[in-house]
């Protein structure tokens, strides 16, 4: 048996091929009776849309790409990516758009991803974690594809059709530091994110800005957002600066590692050190003590990224989006001594 065609559907439904095409593309200018007849014929014949032919006719693939750099290190370990992807799925609900996951990290993977995108297999893309020196973004120079960055726009961002959907990284850091300051902390260290990360640089800059002339490079250690990197970073910080009385971590996972390092030193939280995270992942409420953190609406970032890309694909010019952060107070920061509170003034 040959595969049924649009002509077969039209003959069975008793309508023109143009009417069948309009029904298949959800065009509004079709009568209810004609629409019902076409759907009945499709079901009777077992007709399936020829995706390749439709792509040639419309120039669209009904597919978008999600890009994750260094996916092997992050996709299956960092809950942030699950939340982002769930948000993207939320945004695609009820649409006919397919999702293609592309992973970078090695030179070969980056090159293969750029080649796939250049070949025109997708209509647009969402980049989940652009880097400062992102070879995928750089490789797309001149590409007509609309791009949405989940996070601050990287310095390599292409001119023209690109947007960012991000959170208030700077404001979130300032919220965290102001809270630690209000609790009496005097020597606040920071465990930052991956040195290549765009958002990590923004958060480090905010920490430096808040401290001003008090900034001390000895109080900063980069990590990679994992618990292990947070544990090891705090070990190094305490080795060279035992006077630290608070630490701000650029992710909840690193803060969990910091809590482990503190326990291993025989110290207590919050009595000896205050600990602050960033993300408000589920793990934050389950640490001992429960973690104070900065909530960022990750799932909403994913939903908004899809809405932005869909608007761009429809020919609109959507704005960039910056979503707010909020302070979440639990148990890992507490009021220090009356003396420290009286001698510490907010620094903004």
In the chain, what percentage of residues exceed pLDDT 90?
60
**pLDDT range class, residue 336, cuts 50, 70, 90:** low
Tell me what pLDDT residue 217 has: 95
How many C-beta atoms surround the C-beta of residue 118 within 10 A?
13
| Token reading at 207 | 């920490």
Q: What is the pLDDT of residues 178-204, one digit of tens each?
A: 999 999 999 999 999 988 899 999 999
Mean pLDDT of 108-135: 89
pTM for the predicted model, two decimal places: 0.78
How many C-beta atoms surround the C-beta of residue 105 within 10 A?
17
Q: How far apart are CA 193 and CA 142, in angstroms?
A: 30
Q: How far apart are CA 44 and CA 32, in angstroms?
A: 18
Q: What are phi and psi of 103, to 5 degrees?
A: -120, 135
Mean pLDDT of 223-237: 96
Tell me what pLDDT residue 17 has: 84
Please give the radius of gyration of the chain, using alpha carbons only, rounded to the nearest integer.
Answer: 26
Mean pLDDT of 98-109: 89
In the chain, what percentage of residues exceed pLDDT 70?
89
Tell me what pLDDT residue 77 has: 77
Residue 344 has pLDDT above 50, yes or no: no
Question: CB-based contacts of 112: which residues, under 8 Å, 6+ apart?
Answer: none
The domains spanning 6-49 and 63-167+299-324 adopt the same CATH topology: no
Q: Are 313 and 123 in contact (CB under 8 A)?
A: yes
First to last CA, the chain: 75
More confident residue, 76 or 171: 171
Q: What is the mean pLDDT of the chain?
A: 87
Residue 160 has pLDDT above 70, yes or no: no
Of 48-52, 134-138, 140-144, where does mean pLDDT reach its minimum? Answer: 48-52
More confident residue, 318 or 2: 318
Residue written as token pair 């989006």: 321
Residue 161 has pLDDT above 70, yes or no: yes
Q: Which CATH architecture has domain 63-167+299-324?
A: 3-Layer(aba) Sandwich (3.40)
Residue 173 has pLDDT above 80, yes or no: yes
Question: CB-based contacts of 215: which residues, under 8 Å, 6+ apart?
Answer: 207, 208
CATH class of the structural domain 6-49: mainly alpha
Domain ranges for the chain, please list them: 6-49, 63-167+299-324, 169-296
Residue 164 has pLDDT above 60, yes or no: yes
Q: How far apart are CA 67 and CA 309, in angstroms?
A: 14
Residue 341 has pLDDT above 60, yes or no: no
How many C-beta atoms surround the C-beta of residue 251 within 10 A?
30
Q: What CATH code would you report for 169-296?
A: 3.40.50.2300
Mean pLDDT of 299-317: 94
Specify which residues 66 forms β-bridges with: 101, 126
Residue 76: half-sphere exposure toward Cβ, Cα within 13 Å? 3
Tell me what pLDDT residue 210 has: 97
């Amino acid at each position: 048996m040959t595969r049924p065609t649009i002509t077969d559907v039209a003959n069975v439904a008793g309508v023109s091929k143009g009417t069948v095409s309009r029904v298949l593309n959800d065009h509004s200018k079709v009568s209810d009776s004609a629409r019902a007849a076409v759907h009945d014929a499709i079901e009777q014949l077992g007709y399936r849309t020829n995706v390749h032919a439709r792509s040639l006719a419309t120039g669209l693939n009904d597919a978008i790409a999600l890009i994750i750099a260094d996916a092997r290190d992050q996709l299956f370990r960092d809950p942030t990516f699950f939340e982002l992807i769930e948000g993207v799925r939320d945004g695609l609900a009820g649409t006919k758009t397919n999702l293609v996951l592309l992973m970078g990290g090695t030179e070969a993977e980056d090159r293969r991803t750029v080649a796939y995108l250049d070949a025109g297999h997708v209509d647009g893309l969402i980049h989940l974690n652009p880097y400062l020196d992102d070879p995928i973004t750089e490789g797309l120079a001149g590409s007509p594809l609309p791009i949405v960055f989940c996070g601050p726009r990287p310095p390599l961002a292409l001119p023209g059709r690109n947007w960012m959907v991000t959170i208030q990284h700077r404001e979130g850091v300032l919220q965290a530091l102001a809270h630690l300051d209000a609790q009496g902390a005097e020597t606040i260290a920071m465990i930052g994110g991956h040195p290549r990360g765009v958002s990590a640089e923004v958060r480090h800059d905010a920490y430096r800005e808040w401290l001003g002339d008090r900034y001390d490079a000895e109080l900063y250690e980069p990590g990679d957002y994992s618990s292990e990197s947070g544990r090891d970073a705090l070990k190094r910080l305490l080795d060279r600066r035992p006077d630290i009385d608070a630490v701000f971590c650029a992710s909840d996972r690193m803060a969990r590692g910091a809590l482990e390092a503190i326990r291993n030193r025989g110290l207590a939280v919050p009595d000896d050190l205050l600990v602050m995270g960033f993300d408000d992942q589920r793990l934050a409420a389950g640490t001992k003590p429960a973690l104070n953190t900065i909530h960022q609406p990750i799932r909403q970032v994913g939903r908004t990224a899809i809405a932005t890309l869909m608007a761009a694909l429809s020919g609109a010019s959507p704005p960039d989006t910056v979503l707010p952060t909020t302070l979440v107070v639990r148990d890992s920061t507490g009021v220090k001594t009356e003396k420290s509170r009286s001698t510490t003034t907010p620094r903004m």
